[in-house]
Structure 1
Amino acid sequence: MRLRGVVDEAWRDIVSGTSHAFMLMLILAALVGGLSAADLFSIRSIAQQVDRYIASGASTYVIEVKGRISGEACERLSSVDGVLASGALRSRNDKVTSAVLPSAGIPSLDATTGALGVFASSTRSSGATLTARDYDGIWLSSQAARSVHARAGNRLALRAGGRVRVAGVFQYPDDGRSTSYDYVALSQVPAAADDFDQCLVKAWPVPDAMQSLLQSTVSSWSSDASQQPTISQLNSTQGTQLDAVKTFRERQSALAPVVMFVSALFAGYAAVRARRLELASAMHCGEPKIALWLQMLLETLMWCCSAIIVTAPLIVWALTHMETGIIISSTTLVGILSRIPAAALVGVLAGASMAMLITRERDLFRYFKNR
């Protein structure tokens, strides 16, 4: 039989319903879509876990030593791979005392531009991009802003007279993070000084040499053991570390391509094996087995590719609506999700070929008897 005849016969079987292509397409589409969705939501769950971890301040580290932190060295850490923002702080003797609440001044800290970026993104898993306008004035913690009824952009009346512009308000929830900054006012100052008290570094993934990076910001070391720098997490209640790579690799849905291959192998095998009497009869009438095998592959390809096309919008939707970039890129996500339809395609073709190989003309009468 010529190739054209094989193609025509395969098309007639599909159109007439002999191959049950529509039913098989629906079954395979459900498998591909279900397993793809399971893996996708598992990846999103891990991404959300990482997002919560960073946003809680668990991946923000603080080194503290009174008056011996280099502001410039601390700011330079933001250029290290994995560091989202870094900046230095130092205490001020004066407080911001508003006319609204004259009996309780707000503790004031000097902050470098990087430190303001750390606090501006204190509840986000990314860094913050600030403009010159954001440095014109003071930044208040959300608790401090509420106490004096201030909002970003307002001018706060001071007890001593005059007003100060509130450049921004940063969120600092009571979720286990250090209470050192829950009621403060930050004023931007140049980093060119070695007398800062603290250096804050927000990072993801956290560099293995984080402790060394933090210690590199100390401008001078004291021989007094009681005056050595201390390093801590901004929020230690979320655990000392989160191994997102291990969690990603060990997710249960990572086996989805294997499950898909086995399921597709069975589907392809069953689809052809169910027609063994028809195929053996065709061989008995002189049809070459290779032509029948090619016909089965063409029919299998038709309903398998249709199932993949039906589920393709799921990947498109995932790329446009689901935030997973915090652990993997969009390109990597496409590659991961593509393994499932690829496993489906290989599985059904392998199953169909296996069923065709064990279908023999000499078993025609046995097939007829057991139909």
Structure 2
Amino acid sequence: MRLRIALREAWRNIAGGTGRTLTLTLTLLAIAVSCQAADVLSARAIVHEAQVYQDAGANVLVLSSAGNVDPVRFKALASQPNVIAAGALRTTTDQVAAALPGSSIPAYETTPGFASILTGRPSTGVGVTIASDVATTVGVGVGDTLPLLAGTARVDGVYGYPQDGRVGGLGYSILIPTTDTSAFDACWVQEWPMTDTTAMLLRGTVMPASGNDAAPAQLSQFNATLGTTLDSAAAYASRPTRWAPVGALLLGALTAFGLLRLRQLEHASALHLGVRRLDLLAIILVETVMAALLATIACLASGALLARFATVEDVDTTLRLALLSPASASAGAMLGAMAGGASVREASLMRLFKER
């Protein structure tokens, strides 16, 4: 049988309803979308958990050793693969806003990269960075000039500091960048994913203690309320819905096989009339491909919606994840259809006719 004839016969079966194309399409669509949504939403929950963890500052390590942190040693930490931002700070003379001469603002000198840990954006290292409470009290914002009794300063950034478990001390303060290489009081590293290597290197920034009264360095977490560790990669790799594409493949295969078994009499009659099995399988494959194609097109739309609205970033990766289940369901349907077509026996024609 020529391909043109096979396509024509398949189209007649599809148009006439004999091929049960609509039934197969809707069933594949239900299977694929269900598995697709379950896997994407499961992955989204893991991404959301990681985002909340980072927004709370739980991925920031703080090494404290008053007057004993070497900024030269610390500078190398910023080049580590997983480090997002790193900086050091030390206390300095309190500042007094010209608008509030009766009260002072705790001030800290910081390395240029420190402010970005709190603001979440790159710092120019030119102006000062202030807490949101200071900005509200004084009435200034990013880009404004902050009048101080000691002079004026350009506001380069404003950071929020909610009381959600993070260490105290910076909720009402001003951060002044400096390039001075004198010892600092603490160094902070923001990292994702977090590694033991960075913590080890962080301890190496402490200069040798001088004197018997030197306080030991303390390594702590900026916000420990959400746990000391969060392995999102392991959570993603072990998520239950990782088997969703496999489930879609099996369900697609069973569905197509079951629908083909319902057409045994039709196919046995075709074999009895002289249709070659290879030609019969070709017709069945064309019918199944049409159903799988229609279901996949519909799943492209649902996958795009899930990728757009179920995650805040990395839409391309989410879209690829969303297409796994539809592709698996379609592949399973073709395998099941071929198995169903291969299982038909011309010798069963009379029995099937009697059982009709």
TM-score range, shorter chain: over 0.9
Tell me if structure 1 keeps the 8 A contact 2:60–2:190: yes
Q: CA deviation at 1:321?
A: 5.3
Which string of whole-angstrom CA distances, capped at 9 and with x for unpartnered residues, describes residues 94-119 of structure 1?
A: 21112333332111100111111212
**Conserved? CA contact 1:273–1:355, under 8 Å:** yes
Indicate yes or no: 2:186 matched with 1:198: yes
Match of 2:42 in 1: 42
1:153 aligns with 2:135: no
1:47–1:324 contact (8 Å) kept in structure 2: no
Name the CA shift for 1:224/1:315 in 2 (closer, same or farther; >3 Å).
Answer: farther
2:190 aligns to what SS in structure 1? strand
Deviation at 1:335, TM superposition (A): 4.6
Q: In structure 1, what residue type is equivalent to 2:159?
A: F
What secondary structure, in the 3-state scheme, does the structure 2 residue paired with 1:67 have?
A: strand
Matched ranges for 1:1-371 at <5 A:
1-92=1-92, 94-121=93-120, 128-131=121-124, 135-158=125-148, 160=149, 162-190=151-179, 192-222=180-210, 224=212, 227-319=215-307, 323=311, 332-371=317-356
Distance across 2 between alignment mates of 1:137 and 1:331: 37
Deviates more, 1:100-109 or 1:62-71: 100-109
Secondary structure of the structure 2 residue equivalent to 1:164? strand
What is the rounded CA distance, in whole Å, between the counterparts of 1:352 and 1:234 in structure 2?
Answer: 58
SS at structure 1 position matched to 2:114: helix
Structure 1 range deviating more: 269-278 or 225-234: 225-234
1:128-155: CA deviation from partner (whole Å, max 9, x where unpaired): 2233xxx443211112222333322333
Gaps of 5+ in 2: none
Structure 1 Cα separation of the partners of residues 338 and 116 of structure 2:
60
Query: Contact 2:307–2:322 at 8 Å: present in 1 too?
Result: no
CA change 1:275–1:46 in 2 (3 A) is same
| Counterpart code for 1:49 | E
* 2:64 partner SS: strand
Distance in 2 (CA, whole Å) between partners of 1:335 and 1:223 is: 59
Q: Aligned to 2:88, what secondary structure does the other structure show?
A: strand
Distance in 2, matches of 1:15 and 1:207, equals 60
Q: How far has the Cα of 1:320 moved from its partner?
A: 5.2
8 A contact 2:265–2:352 mirrored in 1: yes
Partners of 2:59 and 2:25 in 1: CA distance: 47
The C-alpha deviation readout for 1:168-219, integer Å capped at 9, x for no partner, is 21111111101121121110100x5141111010000112212211112223
Superposed CA RMSD in Å reads 2.2
Judging changes above 3 Å, is the alpha-carbon distance between structure 1 residues 226 and 70 closer, same or farther for their aligned structure 2 residues?
closer
Summarize the Cα distance change of 1:161–1:194 in structure 2 as closer, same or farther, 3 Å threshold: closer
TM-score by length of 2: 0.92
- Deviation sequence 1:244-302 (CA, Å, 0-9, x none): 11211121211111210121011111221111111111122222222212211111111
**DSSP 3-state at the match of 1:174:** coil
After superposition, what is the alpha-carbon deviation per residue over 1:42-89, rounded to whole angstroms, capped at 9, x for unaligned? 111111110110110100001011111122332331110100000110
One-letter code of the match for 2:139? H
Shift in CA distance, 4/161, structure 1 to aligned 2, threshold 3 Å: closer
1:97–1:106 Cα contact (<8 Å) kept: yes
Q: Distance in 2 between matches of 1:299 and 1:46?
A: 39
Closer, same or farther: CA 226–237 of 1 in aligned 2, 3 Å: farther
Amino acid in the other structure paired with 2:17: G
| Identity across the alignment (%) | 32
Q: Shift of the alpha carbon at 1:333?
A: 4.1
Is the Cα contact below 8 Å between 2:252 and 2:333 reproduced in 1? yes
Q: Describe the SS at the equivalent of 1:227.
A: coil
Counterpart of 1:113, as a letter, is: P
How far apart are the structure 1 equivalents of 2:339 and 2:208?
74
